[in-house]
Amino acid sequence: MRRLDGGKTTTLARWQQVHDLLDAGVGLLECARRLNLALNTVKRYARVDKPEQMRRAPQYRPTLVDPYREYLRKRRAEEPAVPVLQLLCEIRERGYTGSQNLLYRYITQGRVEDDRPGLSPRRLARLLLARPDNLKPDQHELLAKTTGACPEMSALAALVRAFARLLVPATDNADRLQEWISTAEKVNLPNVHSFIRGLRLDLDAVRAALTSDYHNGGTEGVNTKTKLIKRQMYGRAGFHLLRHRILLG
Mean pLDDT score, 8-14:
76
Region of poorest pLDDT, from 4-8, 28-32, 84-88, 130-134: 4-8
Q: What percentage of the chain reaches a pLDDT higher than 70?
A: 89
**pLDDT at residue 20 tops 80:** yes
Specify whether the CB–CB gap between 1 and 9 falls below 8 A. Answer: no
pLDDT at 56: 63
110 falls in which pLDDT band (50, 70, 90)? confident
Q: Residue 21's pLDDT is what?
A: 92
Measuring CA to CA, how many Å separate 181 from each of 131, 157, 177, 208?
22, 15, 6, 16
User: What distances in angstroms separate CA 68 from CA 55, 212, 236, one per listed residue?
Assistant: 28, 52, 56
Q: What is the pTM of this model?
A: 0.51
pLDDT of 67 strictly over 60? yes
Give 82's contacts (C-beta < 8 A, 6+ positions apart). Answer: 75, 76
